[in-house]
Structure 1
Amino acid sequence: MPQSLANLYVHLIFSTKERLPFLSPEVRPDLHAYLATVLTNLNSPAVLINSVEDHVHILFNMSRTVTLAQVVEEVKKSSSKWIKTQGPNLATFAWQAGYGGFSVSESNVPKVANYIRNQEEHHRVKTFQEEYREFLEKHKVPYDERYVWD
């Protein structure tokens, strides 16, 4: 086959370091726009980005020419630098060291997008840690609780 083609959707989840509530409602729209720009520059356009005070969910179409680790590194590095310029209360901002990346089939993109869209509603009854554990278990990702949180 002479052509290399791919259609890979990823649901990416990562939190602020120690799940500190840095992501106020005021900073979120600009953060989401910034994250979308970084992803576009990586040829991995965002389908939907949403966040709550301590973590972000991103659904994006991953480029066939970059790895997930490269996307995450650039998204987190660039956005961390940007957030620190958004006010004195954000000068100590940091993302957690890790992340969760979960594959999404084309047929499930609308369902995952709807889930991401309704983050505030989900987190009225569930913590980030509870949600994240459920994702790991649902996707059969083995993990050691001692090393998941920072």
Structure 2
Amino acid sequence: MAHVVLYYHIVWRTKRSEHSITEEYERELYAYIHGYCKEKQCTLIRIGGMSDHLHMLVAIRPDIAVSEFMKVLKTETSKWLKSQKSKFPMFNGWANGYAAFTYCERDKEMIRHYIMNQKVHHRGVEFRSEYESMLAEWSLDPKTDLFLKDDD
């Protein structure tokens, strides 16, 4: 039997980076995402974010492709958020794509702490700058990345 642990730091944003995830009700969204992870038998270690984007650290089972995991997660949360219009009146959907970075066990606490402190972090850093720094850390060129491209 194989033993595989895959930790993903996944980042995704709202359509056109609209500030539509209300701080007052964000925990309800996080609880919904936690339920999705449990249903998929994946472990949500930490979730957090801002009104225009989310971060999560999650251990995804090796038999589930991260692309499929995120496709379904974004579809289901979009439906749920739209059904909660009184709590998330500005939500119009998620932007295309996401970013997923893998980490090992020894980095787990660092990433968990980073996600936990998103509100403090973003007092001085815009999402675009944060994301471009993440790309640089992984030696990726932001000019070739389509994740921040405005949605039609």
Same fold (TM > 0.5) = yes
Name 2:60's counterpart in structure 1.
62
Distance 1:144 1:86, change over 3 A: same
The one-character-per-residue Cα deviations of 1:69-125 (angstroms, maximum 9, x if unpaired) are 011101111000000011255375210101100011100101100000000111110
Structure 1 gaps of 5+ residues are none
Partner SS, residue 146 of structure 2: helix
User: Normalising to structure 2: TM-score of the pair?
Assistant: 0.91
The one-character-per-residue Cα deviations of 1:24-77 (angstroms, maximum 9, x if unpaired) are 112200000001111121222200111211000000011111011011101111
Name 1:76's counterpart in structure 2.
74
Q: Tell me if the contact between 1:85 and 1:91 (Cα under 8 Å) persists in the aligned partners.
A: no
Q: Tell me if the contact between 2:20 and 2:91 (Cα under 8 Å) persists in the aligned partners.
A: no
Alpha-carbon separation, structure 2, partners of 1:17 and 1:53: 11
1:48 to 40, 46, 49: 46
Alpha-carbon separation, structure 2, partners of 1:91 and 1:138: 32
- 1:144 is displaced (CA, Å) by 3.1
Q: Tell me if the contact between 2:19 and 2:90 (Cα under 8 Å) persists in the aligned partners.
A: no
Partner SS, residue 144 of structure 1: helix
Identity %: 25
RMSD: 1.6
Partner SS, residue 136 of structure 2: helix
Alpha-carbon separation, structure 1, partners of 2:147 and 2:75: 20
Alpha-carbon separation, structure 2, partners of 1:65 and 1:79: 22
Name 1:26's counterpart in structure 2.
24
Equivalent pairs counted in the alignment come to: 148
Q: Tell me if the contact between 2:47 and 2:115 (Cα under 8 Å) persists in the aligned partners.
A: yes
Structure 2 gaps of 5+ residues are none
Alpha-carbon separation, structure 2, partners of 1:123 and 1:147: 22
Q: Tell me if the contact between 1:13 and 1:55 (Cα under 8 Å) persists in the aligned partners.
A: yes
